[in-house]
Amino acid sequence: MAAIVRADDLGKQVESGGQPLVILEAISFGVEAGESLAILGASGSGKSTLLGLLAGLDVPSSGTVKLDGVDIFACDEDARARLRGRLAGFVFQSFQLLPALTALENVMLPLELRGQRDARQQAEAVLIRVGLGHRLHHLPKHLSGGEQQRVAIARAFVVQPKILFADEPTGNLDASTGRQIIELLLELNRAQGTTLILVTHDEALAARCGRQLRLEAGRAVSPRPFTGEG
Ligand X SMILES: Nc1ncnc2c1ncn2[C@@H]1O[C@H](COP(=O)(O)OP(=O)(O)OP(=O)(O)O)[C@@H](O)[C@H]1O
Distance of CA 182 to the CA centre of its chain: 12
- Among ligand X, Mg ion, none, partner that 46 touches (CB below 5 to 8 angstroms by kind): ligand X
CA distances from 158 to 45, 71, 161 (A): 31, 26, 8
Considering the complex, state which of residue 85 and residue 171 has its C-beta at the smaller distance from ligand X.
Answer: 171
Instruction: State the binding string over 160-179 for Mg ion (x if CB under 5 A, else -).
Output: --------------------
Residue type at position 175: A
Residue 48 interacts with Mg ion (CB under 5 A): yes or no: yes
Range list of H helices, the chain = 47-54, 77-87, 103-113, 119-129, 145-157, 175-192, 203-207
Q: Which is nearer to ligand X, 44 or 133 (CB)?
A: 44
Candidates 30, 92, 13; CA nearest to 67 is 30
Residue 147 or 168 having the CB closest to Mg ion: 168
Residues 106-145, interacting with Mg ion (CB under 5 A): none
Stretch touching Mg ion by CB under 5 A, among 7-15, 24-32, 40-48, 158-166 = 40-48
Rule CB under 5 A: say whether 45 interacts with Mg ion.
no
Question: Interaction with ligand X in 12-31: which residues (CB under 6 A)?
Answer: 14, 16, 21, 23
Residue pair 4/229 in contact by the 8 Å Cβ criterion = no
Q: How far apart are CA 6 and CA 69, in angstroms?
A: 8
Site residues for ligand X, 31-50, by CB under 6 A, read 41, 43-49
